Amino acid sequence: MATETRTHRFATQSVHAGASPDPSTGARVQPIYFTNGFVFDSTEQAADIFAMRKTGFSYSRGSNPTVAALERRVAALEGAKAAVAVSSGQSAVLLVLMTLMQSGDAYVASPRLFGGSLGLMRRLDGRYDLKPQFAKGLTPADFEAQITPQTKAIVCESIVNPCATVMDLVGISEVARRHNLPLVVDNTLASPALIRPIEYGADIVVHSTSKFLGGSGQTIGGIICDAGRFDWTATGGRYNLITEPWSDYDGLVITERFPEISFAVACRLFGLRDLGPGLSPMNAFLTLTGIETLPLRMARHCSNARTVAAHLKDHPAVEWVSYPALPGQPGESMAACYVPQGPGSIFTFALKGGEAAAKTFITSLELISHLVNIGEIKSLAIHPATTTHRQLGDADKAAAMVGPETVRLSIGLENVEDLIADIDQALAKLS
Ligand SMILES: *Cc1c(COP(=O)(O)O)cnc(C)c1O
């Protein structure tokens, strides 16, 4: 999956990687290929593509040229060998877990994760016996302590939704390496503009492209990136989908045919051909367009978020702010090390007036929208304890820093003075 811009820098890749002028028409923008099927040259070619003996397009559930351009671009930005785009961030997490594991297997998971991932993990545990082994804390030693012979992977986020905690990816990847386990990192809140987890040892990177990559809150999507570095053959057959013959593909062994991109191929064959959550070409196109401005947007997201977080921290109605770029915050040194630009633009803060104050604050906002997305150009607010994290028990809510008094903000690209004025007028309604 070489891209023509492999040697270019990040902003150049954001604009160019994975797409070039259309050879048949000269169209400069990536065309949207709205077609389900692609005409075969011959029955031999059809059979070869079906059997994975040759690459080529056949049916858009498994691959499509517009979607492939998005896959190449995100793979380039993450420094991955290949990527597989899917219909949502939720299905990206699902496909990674299902491709790595079968019933009876387990994986070590961070105790601080996006609420939708926690909900999915609980459901997969109860119905399909895929067991999350939640670490008791955030240090590499906490992750290592949960590993058992059943463990097949380690899963964490780079920057945690919603509290902006920056994880020690180097330390956690050393644990993964020591136990010969793949490290899966959900990089949604950082985007590759802030953190490229593969550079710190991640083997698989997932995104909800619904957030910063798309950027404008128009389309749901997800993507799975394969670093192409993990040696699946050195695991004694523990990942049988990847290392053992597929009888319905003439005995195809993915690690033999596709040694550099084994995990991505397994995700495409099992995840897209069998399970089916493919991404629409239209959504791929909109996401590609969004990515072109990613580095510019992330710089502004971070600087606006830092200003708003600092303003909130000094306000008498505010109990605490969780944004580790502020001086004296827990995790400040980790944030300084991994994200000098700032830990993104999603963070939490707590009001002294408790749940009633949190709800009054949110409903009093005028410019900032009360809605449940993040990573958009527009600023957003939500009450996690009764929405995104409602399924957690009280102790888990406390651990995730989403108690009843907590508000989550996703700071956008507006003039920061206007955001602060809106926040101040909403806070004034509390007294
Ligand atoms: C939003 C989100 C997801 C789920 O993505 P969808 O596109 O909404 O399905 C997964 N992980 C994180 C960290 C998220 O913020």
Interval 112-165: pLDDT, tens: 999 899 999 999 999 999 999 999 999 999 999 999 999 999 999 999 999 999
How much is the average pLDDT of 211-240?
97
72-99: pLDDT as tens digits: 999 999 999 999 999 999 999 999 999 9
Q: Return the percentage of the chain with pLDDT > 90, whole number.
A: 93
On the question of a cis peptide bond just before residue 140, with omega within 30 degrees of 0, the verdict is no
Residues facing 106 on adjacent strands = 131, 151
Q: What is the mean pLDDT of the chain?
A: 95
What pLDDT, on the 0 to 100 scale, is given for residue 6?
A: 60
Task: Tell the residue nearest (CA) to atom 2 of ligand 1.
Answer: 208
- Listed range (86-90, 287-291, 292-296, 391-395) with the worst mean pLDDT: 391-395
Confidence class for position 41, pLDDT limits 50, 70, 90: very high
Q: Is the pLDDT of residue 195 over 70?
A: yes
Confidence class for position 213, pLDDT limits 50, 70, 90: very high
Q: Cα(422)–Cα(431) distance, rounded to whole angstroms?
A: 16
Ligand 1 atom showing the smallest separation from residue 211 Cα: 1
Confidence class for position 4, pLDDT limits 50, 70, 90: very low
- Structure tokens, 35: 């077609």
What pLDDT, on the 0 to 100 scale, is given for residue 2?
A: 39
Task: Compute the distance from residue 341 Cα to the ligand 1 centre, in Å.
Answer: 22
Q: Cα(123)–Cα(250) distance, rounded to whole angstroms?
A: 34
Residue 153: φ, ψ to 5°: -165, 165
What pLDDT, on the 0 to 100 scale, is given for residue 66?
A: 98
Q: Is the pLDDT of residue 170 over 50?
A: yes
Task: Compute the distance from residue 374 Cα to the ligand 1 centre, in Å.
Answer: 9
What pLDDT, on the 0 to 100 scale, is given for residue 93?
A: 98
What pLDDT, on the 0 to 100 scale, is given for residue 229?
A: 96
Q: Is the pLDDT of residue 103 over 80?
A: yes
| Site of tokens 């495409």 | 268
How much is the average pLDDT of 335-357?
97
| CA dist list (Å): 286 to 27, 31, 229, 369 | 16, 11, 30, 22
The CA-to-CA distance between both ends of the chain, in Å, stands at: 58
DSSP 361-389: HHHH-SSSEE-S--S-SS-EEE-GGGTTT
Give the chain's domains with CATH numbers: 10-291 (3.40.640.10), 294-428 (3.90.1150.10)
Q: Which of 186, 188, 194, 213 to mutate to test the pocket of ligand 1 (most atoms within 8 A of CB)?
A: 188
Task: Compute the distance from residue 188 Cα to the ligand 1 centre, in Å.
Answer: 7
Task: Tell the residue nearest (CA) to atom 7 of ligand 1.
Answer: 89
Q: Which of 74, 97, 158, 208 to mutate to test the pocket of ligand 1 (most atoms within 8 A of CB)?
A: 208
Task: Tell the residue nearest (CA) to atom 6 of ligand 1.
Answer: 89
357-411: pLDDT as tens digits: 999 999 999 999 999 999 999 999 999 999 988 888 888 888 778 999 999 999 9
- Tally Cβ neighbours within 10 Å of residue 148: 9
Q: Is the pLDDT of residue 415 over 60?
A: yes
Entry pTM: 0.97
Task: Compute the distance from residue 412 Cα to the ligand 1 centre, in Å.
Answer: 18
How much is the average pLDDT of 230-239?
95
Ligand 1 atom showing the smallest separation from residue 91 Cα: 9
